[in-house]
Structure 1
Amino acid sequence: MENKRINGNDLIALGYKENHAMGVALKINKKRLGYSREQMLDKFRDVLHNPESYLDDKIFHPLAEVLLKIDTIERETVALKDAPDSYTVYGAEHIEEGAKKQMQVAMKLPVTVAGALMPDAHQGYGLPIGGVLATDNAVIPYGVGVDIGCRMALSVFDLPDSYIAAHHDKLKKVLMDNTRFGAGNGYQRHERVDHPVLDNELFKTHGFIRSLKDKAWTQLGSSGGGNHFVEFGIIEFAAGDDALGVGRGQYLALLTHSGSRGLGATIAGHYTKLAKEICKLPYEAQNLAYLDLNTAEGQEYWLAMNLAGDYASACHEVIHDKIRTALGAGLLAKVENHHNFAWKEQFDGEEVIVHRKGATPASRGTMGIIPGSMATPGFLVRGKGEEASINSASHGAGRLMSRTQAIKTLSPTALKTMLSDYGITLLGAGMDEAPMAYKDIHTVMSAQSDLVDVVATFVPKIVRMADDGSRED
């Protein structure tokens, strides 16, 4: 009991309200600073009733300052709708309550037009991961996410599935030689490659973005940590696909998952902070702070977001080109889609801003990729254009347990056995990415049969992920 974390309910019991003061108190509590749980509760109680006495306190002065001006803060706070608008949920029985509660808060924003929750949804920051939100002329940085433009890319090569078994060691070497992983990692100056994305005008005209160009160049063609990967596998087209120009059969394929690296993360942090300063929402909704697209700040973020999306695409392009060249293979088809982004789209006859935080665009005829895990299939899909889902589908299987829980509870031996049974070679990764930490991809796919058609099935065989414990995902 002594070390049990203090939470919002504990503070409510002391007399705190669910407002900005509670947020400040919880931030202070994370540090604990040598106090026991009971000592911290005593301090919080005293600050609440005697804030003037703590204005010079090194630890508690931020809380005291907020408490003394809480009435002014609440007068300046943007009011939410009295009740959340209704929204569609897919696979509701497999979605944790925390994700549903986050979506309910998002549906109370004054700018919200429509929403949907995908079957892989789980709790995140701001919008839940797997959340889709349409807004009226407003963009939410945390509705896009930290890894702006995170995306999937698939290359289907003119090589048969038997190539993997016949050239296993070569393929491992190709992955090791042509990829780089982990938060903060990139390429030395003599290793860097050029790409037209680095010529974007923002790198010349916008001071903040200009300061990020060297980082962007360093990390161009690299992958993040966490659930990001580069993998060889077998893709099966059971019936072929005329639109893609790929016949029935099984082929060697390359599948990648990564985003905009440090560039996107820095842009997200900068504009989220700015949005919170401009758009003062109630405590429960503060991570959903939005920018009006009619303002200079909104337009700045929109341009920076699109740059980060283009940069993420460029990273995948560099990786795929390097690997195809190393293989000496021909390209039969390539598909890519992003899933942490905001788009201007038509919904119910009006232009809206559609945020897909961990959701795949699935308008009619749009191609997308929905991966499983390192040991389970992924799917090449074609969208059906279901308006109730705001033309969206899941972006993967979705986490079943947190990273911390996975590391504490899952067995490395069980993972090793599973990979062996499925004939998968794993290069890097930690227990937090074990397949058992994810939902059943087949259950997720069955919950969205109204949203997408499956075109082909991808089975991973040689998987590379970050092996440094980084969490840039």
Structure 2
Amino acid sequence: MENQKLNGNDLLAIGFEGKAIGAALQLLQTAYKGKTKEHTLALLKKVLDTPEQYREHPVLAPLAEELLVPAPAEPLALKPDQQAYAIWGAEGIEVRALNQMDIAMRLPVTRAGALMPDAHQGYGLPIGGVLATENAVIPYGVGVDIGCRMAMTLYDMPATFLEQNRERLKGLLVDNTRFGRATFQKPKEHAVIDRPEFRDIPILKGLKDRAFEQLGSSGGGNHFVEWGTVELADAQNEWGLAPGTYLALLSHSGSRGMGAAIAGHYTKLAMEGCMLPQEARHLAWLDLDTEAGQEYWLAMNLAGDYASACHQQIHERLAAAIGQQPLARIENHHNFAWKEKDAQGRELIVHRKGATPAGKGVLGIIPGSMTAPGFIVRGKGLSASLNSASHGAGRTMSRTKAKELISPEAVQQQLQQAGVDLIGSGLDEAPGAYKDIRKVMAFQQELVEVVALSYPRL
């Protein structure tokens, strides 16, 4: 009986499957003609059982290589039912953001979640989403701009100072800040650049030089530096300042190109090692007891510290330029993951992607828009929100839509009415692209208390 009568069912019977069946049948068409079926099946079974021994075989090597290719992993199954989670300001949150949060709450590693009133669609976890996982960190749950933050310094200057010195203060902003691809010709030194992570983690070795070049600068998009005034009403404030109006410098930016490179690299690793259904693929995670998980955790913390260093230099430059020492400094970050314990004492990884930490007594800054006030807040520590609050007003339309629908004339009119001088921005950051910050704050009264209002001016 010749081997020509061998078919796929014969190969299935001895354990062959997938592409290896086709490879074996094709091989039999060009080799081992005249051999009996029994002889050929016995030979193929040997190759199937020990393919590594046939990698150098002059005829059977291609079949052996096909057998040695790892079988594609089946996607991990999501939980059939999502866990419940609290939502603040649901009436103003788009369906796509709600759908993303619903999917995140079905991950096997998810233990709790919450959605803030400024929420809108993102990659993986929605912006404004808070997700607690166990022993797992989700790079896209942190976000691309790792450690993005708000920083403010207050100055003891008379209320009239800003109006009397508008042109001078505008010049100081132009001279002492850089945005997007622009950097300082001679960046200031900072200890963060000497951190051992730049030496010990492969992905960071190639990012160090660019990180140094971008020190003290800000990204594009919604990142800004502004002069404004702060109306402090809380007499029991943390700085011992009297209620009143103060000159303020406010900045918003993150970890620049380094954070984006870290996010891209470890998201790719997560997606390769943690296959999820198509709708959840951007929520792939890294176990913290793996080398990749530990590397990402160190890199994420470095990126956060780097973002803080950039803000520190921004405020140092402008403090020196104005010739004043600030009375107080406030800083908080988002797009980050924290190790925190829940009510049962479990250590969880809390991702706040566009959400402000609002543990009891924790200070934060929640900006509005270029014409709307921002809010200095003190967290109330509500466990249902995972000790979180919104990180801003939240977008009502995408950047593309804003550019299509909002006119420069309308923006200019809004700026004039608000008494704001705009040095630089795009239509994608127009006030009309954002929700009403006062409504957003009304939705989260149980999450934070207002310490002061901040008004943008330049």
TM range (shorter): 0.7 to 0.9
- 1:123 paired with 2:116, answer no
CA contact (8 A) 1:81 1:110 kept: yes
Counterparts of residues 24-423 of structure 1 (less than 5 Å):
73=72, 76-182=74-180, 184-188=181-185, 191-349=186-344, 350-423=346-419
Q: Distance in 1 between matches of 2:234 and 2:352?
A: 30
- Residue identity in the other structure for 2:351: H
Q: Distance in 2 between matches of 1:117 and 1:360?
A: 12
Q: Distance in 1 between matches of 2:431 and 2:348?
A: 36
- Residue identity in the other structure for 1:372: G
With the length of structure 1 as denominator, give the TM-score of the two structures.
0.81
CA contact (8 A) 2:201 2:295 kept: no
- Residue identity in the other structure for 2:254: G
Q: Deviations over 1:200-222 (max 9, x none)?
A: 10112223201101100000000
Q: Secondary structure in 2 aligned to 1:317? A: helix
- 1:449 paired with 2:445, answer yes
CA contact (8 A) 1:159 1:329 kept: no
CA contact (8 A) 2:228 2:457 kept: yes
* Structure 2 alignment gaps of length 5 or more: 1-70
Q: Distance in 2 between matches of 1:204 and 1:97?
A: 44
Q: Secondary structure in 1 aligned to 2:157? A: strand
CA contact (8 A) 1:223 1:261 kept: yes
Residue 33 of structure 1 is matched in structure 2 by: none
Tell me by how many angstroms 1:237 deviates: 0.6
- Residue identity in the other structure for 1:453: E
CA contact (8 A) 1:137 1:292 kept: yes
Q: Distance in 2 between matches of 1:222 and 1:380?
A: 24
Structure 1 counterpart of 2:431, from 411, 430, 435: 435
Q: Secondary structure in 2 aligned to 1:439? A: coil
Q: Distance in 2 between matches of 1:295 and 1:235?
A: 46
- Residue identity in the other structure for 2:183: G
Q: Secondary structure in 1 aligned to 2:309? A: helix
Q: Which of these two proteins has the greater Rg computed from alpha carbons?
A: 2
* Structure 1 alignment gaps of length 5 or more: 1-71, 463-473
Q: Secondary structure in 2 aligned to 1:331? A: coil
Q: Deviations over 1:304-336 (max 9, x none)?
A: 000000000000000000001100112111010
Q: Distance in 2 between matches of 1:390 and 1:82?
A: 24
CA contact (8 A) 1:103 1:128 kept: yes
**Number of matched residues?**
387
Q: Secondary structure in 1 aligned to 2:229? A: strand
CA contact (8 A) 2:129 2:352 kept: yes
- Residue identity in the other structure for 1:121: A
CA contact (8 A) 1:370 1:380 kept: yes
With the length of structure 2 as denominator, give the TM-score of the two structures.
0.83
Tell me by how many angstroms 1:241 deviates: 3.6
Q: Distance in 2 between matches of 1:406 and 1:318?
A: 32
Residue 24 of structure 1 is matched in structure 2 by: none
